Structure 1
Amino acid sequence: MASGESLQVLRGHEGWVTACAWSPDGSRLASASWDGTLRLWDVANGESLLVLRGHEGEVEACTWSPDGSCLASASWEGTLRLWDVASGESLLVLLVLRGHQGWVTACAWSPDGSRLASASRDGTLRVWDVASGESLQVLRGHEGGVTACAWSPDGSRLASASGDRTLRLWDVASGESLQVLSGHEGGVTACAWSPDGSRLASASGEGTLQLWDAATGAPLGLQIRFFNTGAWASLDLEHNRIIEVHGDAWRWLGWRFRDQETGQWEVWPAEIFGELPSKQVLS
């Protein structure tokens, strides 16, 4: 990544490529596509090693087991599959995981590899026992489709993102919804834990990234991106300060208020309240 040079162009799919995931040892890459297949690639030479067929709809997500022996995939037909990546065949015990009533948008292995979490447009998450294929938990609470899920590093909690503009933190053992994280103004499209499990990052369709305290649910930071100009700003919400501003984002930052007559939100530019610093990066 020192130069940003394109090292390989991997061709073979006949539809949009929706997801990709590195094997734990870094030697192979898995890809999922709307052509209904997954592919395994040799990263060293760009060769397509296996084409995994079996889904009856578009494949939306894929993820490796922690030991690299299995691949999980999620599809629009509402099922998940576990693949023996050594042979390219579906595992006989877990041929197909059924239960969701809408397309499956995401899947994630638990850190110990014993369970699989899945998210669906039906508004639920499920936790599966990968040895038996049993659905251990059905997590309900979101008021829109669930777009993403992620295990905490210790495997005790799940984070989920939804089109209802919230994230939720779940206790995996009990299935209880521990916290609802609200603040995004658009559907939440992705979520990820920090390596130590203390923070959660989320991305939203309104063009922002947000950081959260995973213990309290408090927002820690926010990146605002202005699509019409390409400008962006990073805010430290914990200490109430602007960290960095790029482009002409200054002219979009300011006091936000609702007009009592029209009910519309208005923004008073920050420069109304004083001269702005010339530096783009603030300490």
Structure 2
Amino acid sequence: MSYELKHVFASLPQMERGVAKVLGGDPKGNNFLYTNGKSVIIRNIDNPAIADIYTEHPHQVTVAKYAPSGFYIASGDVSGKVRIWDTTQKEHLLKYEYQPFGGKIKDIAWTEDSKRIACVGEGREKFGAVFLWDTGSSVGEVSGHSKIINSVDIKQTRPYRLVTGSDDNCAAFFEGPPFKFKFSITDHSRFVNCVRFSPDGSRFCTAGADGQIFMYDGKTGEKIAALGGAKAHDGGVYAVSWSPDSTQLISASGDKTVKLWDVGAGTAVTTFNMGSDVMDQQLGCLWQKDHLLSVSLSGYINYLDKSNPDRPLRVIKGHSKSIQSLTVHKNDGRSYIYSGSHDGHINILSLTGKNDCFSGKGHSNLVTKMAVDDADQLVTCSMDDTVRFTSVTKKEYSASDLVKMDVQPKHVSVATGGLVLAVCIGQVVLLKNKKKVFTLDGLDYEPEAGALHPGGGTAAVGGADGKVRLYSVQGNTLKDEGKTVEAKGPVTDMAYSKDGAYLAVTDEKKVVTVFAVMDNYSVKNDFYGHHAKVVTLAWSPDNEHFASGGMDMMVYVWTVNDPDKRLKIPVSGRPNAFVFRWQAHFP
């Protein structure tokens, strides 16, 4: 067997309320980039389904910026490390790594010759540094602030100038190189969130939590004007981005708007109203060629339309938190991946890379498991103590299609005839036609996972004691007939093959055991290979293969009849769930 990477489905930016999100742009105008977790995500701006991901940071990455040459990207993380890596090769080889200060890096800027880098953030003894990209040698001192520095930018024309914005309500102006502090700018009454020079270097602006945007001379730092007069926005301004011709800029605000400004006139040409919900607060923006992008608190990336400010041209949806559950289903002849994340969001992904979601209010906490039943309903269970039934054709949550559980559900499985098995903390619940019909409680074991046989006649429940109990489904009840089989350790996941011939069980002892159903659940084979707890599995449509994922950050694809015939796939993070669109190649 062999495998090849077909698609990368990128996450959204990881957002935090009240914290600006920096978007970087490729100098050629083709790509944009942002961070999520320990990854830097690069996306094609014309077709954002085309994505690349850099995953070499050992800590959470906070900001990434292209060098003006376009050949390298500098990315900074919460530990204070800056990694400079290649953009031209698929491997993204590391060129240099530095630690300019100890603490979270919040912004990065390059000089126009791609030879010097400035970075700022939450240092302990200092809040910023400027250094040569190839040696790490200092080329100035970033001083003049008493608190965290949020933003930095460097004038892209000579003579070089550098400006910073801080939580001390001040901006600071520097001349260089070597860069030396010249004076503080004290026009803001609250945090300075963003500072940016115009591409031609003639001006720079500062944006703050006080809703103000001030304009200054790029060479002297002399104040020119305040955009919008008394106030630019009704809420804090988190980001600004200049047009390529330096005559306009866009600003993103917590008042849920993005504004397009005529810099010369100091007035807003267009106001983009992004919504009324708190998740519609705008925390980042980027002007890249003809594209105007903004990022909402939800993580959604909006392509703004100058001719229709109340409706974006496109909204890129997806997940900004870790994905915990997956399933796949074919609808109207097309395959869709349904995924549930740590924050309760469920995403609908077509294999073309287009993301969508259900309308209305859904789960409010981690989605632990999901499956699609024979009525085309997505059945999901969540740590909000509910099991939901959502039509995949209507794509709308319904308050009536929700079953409140007595305790937190951990696992669901579906079978024909509207049957659903929900495994909860200390309980096993049988549901039929979206109603609870039978509950097993007072158990002498802790149930961890469950699986309904596709025919609906048997419910298998795996326990923390390493035993799998086989209950008979009789009408609306589960009957314990004393039949059990043994896994090698505490059960973590389980699933019947599509044809019901096999039951695969994963456990904490790093083993997957497959039982032959027709042979009285005798052990067909044990599968060894993982170096840490196995947490999830999925069957292929051909019923001859299955995949397992473990905390060793490995995926194995196994052949049921031959445990030695396996495919080993390293992944960049711990697999939490699987679906199969089987396209393996056999020699």
What interval of TM-score do these two structures reach, taking the shorter chain for normalisation?
Answer: 0.7 to 0.9
Residue 227 (structure 1) shift: 5.4
1:117-128 alignment runs, 5 A limit: 117-128=163-174
How far apart are residue 163 of structure 1 and its match? 0.3
1:32 & 1:79 partners in 2: Cα distance? 14
Q: How big is each residue's C-alpha offset from its partner over 1:194-221, in whole Å with a ceiling of 9 and x where there is no partner?
A: 2222212100122211011111211100
Letter in 2 for 1:190: A
Aligned pairs for 1:143-222 (under 5 A) are: 143-181=189-227, 182-222=231-271
Q: CA deviation at 1:140?
A: 1.4
1:243 lines up with 2:315 in the alignment:
no
Residue in 2 that maps onto 1:63: 109
Could you tell me whether the CA contact under 8 Å between 2:242 and 2:248 is conserved in 1?
yes
Instruction: Output the TM-score relative to the length of structure 2.
Output: 0.38
> Are the aligned partners of 1:222 and 1:234 in contact in 2 as well (CA < 8 Å)?
no
How many residues of Structure 1 are paired with residues of Structure 2 in the alignment?
239
Shift of 1:5: 4.2
Moved more, 33-42 or 4-13: 4-13
Q: Give, in whole Å, the separation in 2 of the partners of 1:207 and 1:9.
A: 29
Distance in 1 (alpha carbons) for counterparts of 2:111 and 2:304? 35
- Residue-by-residue CA offset, 1:154-212 (whole Å, 9 max, x unaligned): 32321111000111112345544322222412110011222222212100122211011
Work out whether residues 79 and 104 of structure 1, in 8 Å CA contact, stay in contact via their aligned partners in 2.
yes
Contact 2:270–2:309 under 8 Å retained in 1: no
Q: What amino acid does structure 2 have at the position aligned with 1:186?
A: G
Contact 2:305–2:311 (CA<8 Å) still a contact in 1? no
Q: Which amino acid aligns with 1:105?
A: N
What stretches of structure 1 of length at least 5 have no aligned partner? 237-241, 248-283
Q: Quick check: 1:46 aligned with 2:46?
A: no
Contact 2:249 2:261 in 1 (8 A): yes
Q: Secondary structure at the match of 1:142?
A: coil
Q: CA deviation at 1:104?
A: 0.8
Measured in 2, the distance between the counterparts of 1:233 and 1:53 equals 35
Deviation at 1:26, TM superposition (A): 1.3
The separation in 2 between residues aligned to 1:244 and 1:86, in whole angstroms, is 44
Q: Describe the shift of the 1:111–1:11 C-alpha distance in structure 2 as closer, same or farther (beyond 3 A).
A: same
Contact 2:105–2:122 at 8 Å: present in 1 too? yes
- Structure 1 length normalisation: TM-score? 0.76
Q: Aligned partners of 2:215, 2:137: CA distance in 1, in Å?
A: 31
| 1:226-274 deviations in Å (ceiling 9; x for gaps) | 25497999797xxxxx725449xxxxxxxxxxxxxxxxxxxxxxxxxxx
Q: Which amino acid letter does the alignment assign opposite residue 133 of structure 2?
A: V
Q: Which has the higher contact order (CA 8 A, sep 6+)?
A: 1
Residue number in structure 1 paired with 2:55? 11
Change (3 A) 1:5 1:216: closer
**Identity across matched positions, percent:** 23
Is 1:102 matched up with 2:147? yes
- Picking from 63, 74, 82, the partner of 2:130 is 82
Aligned residue type for 2:147:
G
Report the Cα distance in structure 1 between the residues aligned to 2:153 and 2:105, rounded to whole angstroms.
15
CA distance in 2, matches of 1:234, 1:72: 30
Taking only aligned residues, the RMSD between alpha carbons, in angstroms, comes to 2.6
